[in-house]
A and B are shown apart, each in its own frame.
Chain A
Amino acid sequence: MKRYSAFAVAREALRYHMGWDRAWASPEPKKKYDVIIVGAGGHGLATAYYLGKNFGITNVAVLEKGWLGGGNTGRNTTIIRSNYLQDSSAAIYEKARGLYETLSQDLNYNIMYSPRGVMMLAQTQHEVRGYERTAHANALQGVATEFISPNRVKELVPIINIDGPRYPVLGALWQPRGGTARHDAVAWGYARACSAMGMDIIQKCEVTGISREGSKVTGVTTNRGDIACDKLGIVVAGHSGHLADMAGFRLPIESVALQALVSEPIKPCMDVVVMANTVHGYMSQSDKGEMVIGGGADGYNNYTQRGSFHHVEETVRALVETFPMISRLKMLRQWGGIVDMTGDRSPILSKTPVEGVFINCGWGTGGFKSIPGSGWGFAELMAKGHSPLTAEFNLDRFKEGRFIDESVAAGVAH
């Protein structure tokens, strides 16, 4: 792998950019790997990367049904934050946020991490109390957040209306080092680094079955032949239940469509991320100038990647009151992604009833922000059988009643 640098750009500029390598290889699958990861999204590729980097396991294949980063990694609203209430959540999300800080340097790939600050508006008394509590919890967890006044909100976001009749802004939970990153670049950067370590990223390779001998996994069946493995990591947000079915166990998960939309591009008007959980909407401005708006999830199971008009209407109707200027904007496009939801709105990173099969799923509506931390912890779990970062997120917590309840703390815009 040739390193990207200012010097490389200058060198290629002098020879018509003919010397750039492909960022990652497209090999034919081998007969056997030590580890197979199903799903080449952010979480899957990050897992493979840290398996190689932290544990020296490089005989790894990452199988992808579609194209690299074409699932939820390419469909999210790119927000990064770690202001969670529960200790185990704050630990893994803060680990991820910390890794994002230097990820461009670590991967030698510009992921455009922009720590512009994330603000969660408190628009009811209940939310004020909730976010004050979260700010105190974050202080104990070592996550830098503070509860700020409505006037400070107005200073940071001049386009906001803090005196709305229905949803006045009563304060906000402010995380100055939260922000956004370029979502595709995260997947591409990890893929390039994995490929450079000799791992095989195999696209258009759909897993159609999981073979086992007794209670132990032996490999997978795909549309490109059978591939054997010692360990299998299932990292397929949205389709986790489908894959678990192949392996022969059930998950406490339901798949629903979550949607987002962007406006036409406009001049810079808001340089922080604003989330308004009471009205089920959140907004940030992309580098291209589009207002990126995230909305609610469909109220029933589905795998459609479409979303629905009445949810768009609901989200925009509520946001217009808090941001009056967006009423004149045109919507550019809208899309949906399938997220898997657990009962406590916390992920599952766990061993499974099938020996050698590990699962990383249930990130619900908040997977992007956790990619590096999730990969870091899940790689440790797969390599050593235990990770302090993922210990609390095991599959048995439902049976044992040890929920990591973030549904109360996070509301819908999780």
Chain B
Amino acid sequence: MLILTCPCCGVTAEETEFHGGGEAHIKRFGPGSSDEDFHGYLFEKVNPKGVHFERWRHANGCGKWFHAARCTVTLEVFGTYSAQTTEPPQDIKDKISAKRPGWSWREFA
């Protein structure tokens, strides 16, 4: 059972109060982009074994979307943060780097 803190309303609750929304920080390509780009956006997931960034919704709470950084192997939650961003904030990156030496952020286009 995951325990997540909603950065929008500040409530800490069990995973049943939330709903997972899949990979975060996906880059959407605009009009005129290639089929390859659109295919990548729609289907090609990163699916890492380790550090993963996801969208979650506080479905049985404030109803707002946010992002979470989580390990898919240990289920450890590194932190949650606002969805109004294109990459994780520095404090989340620092927390992950401290716990997973050698890890670095990369753009998932």
Interface residues of A (CB under 8 A from B): 239, 241-242, 250-255, 299-304, 308-310, 343, 398-399
The answer on a CB contact under 8 Å between B43 and A252 is: yes
Secondary structure call for the A interface: loop
Q: How far is the CA of A295 from the CA of B97 in the complex (A)?
A: 36
Q: How far is the CA of A250 from the CA of B26 in the complex (A)?
A: 14
Known: A309-B1, A398-B43, A399-B39. A301 touches B73 (CB 8 A): no
Q: How many residues of B contact A (CB 8 A)?
A: 26
Q: How far is the CA of A252 from the CA of B43 in the complex (A)?
A: 5
> In the complex, how many angstroms separate the beta carbon of B85 from the nearest chain A beta carbon?
20
The answer on a CB contact under 8 Å between B54 and A301 is: yes
Q: Mark B68-109, 1 if CB is under 8 A from A, else 0.
A: 001011110000000000000000000000000000000000
Cβ contacts under 8 Å, B19 to chain A: 299
> In the complex, how many angstroms separate the beta carbon of B104 from the nearest chain A beta carbon?
16
Cβ contacts under 8 Å, A299 to chain B: 15, 19-20
Q: How far is the CA of A299 from the CA of B46 in the complex (A)?
A: 16
The answer on a CB contact under 8 Å between B39 and A254 is: no
Cβ contacts under 8 Å, A241 to chain B: 45-49
The answer on a CB contact under 8 Å between B47 and A300 is: no
Known: A308-B1, A310-B16. A302 touches B75 (CB 8 A): yes
Q: Which of B35, B42, B52, B73 contacts A304 (CB 8 A)?
A: B73
8 A–B contacts, CB within 8 A, in A order = A241-B45, A241-B46, A253-B47, A255-B49, A300-B2, A303-B49, A303-B72, A398-B42
Cβ contacts under 8 Å, A310 to chain B: 1, 15-16
Q: Which of B22, B43, B72 contacts A302 (CB 8 A)?
A: B72
The answer on a CB contact under 8 Å between B43 and A301 is: no
The answer on a CB contact under 8 Å between A251 and B44 is: yes
Known: A241-B47, A251-B47, A310-B16. A303 touches B73 (CB 8 A): yes
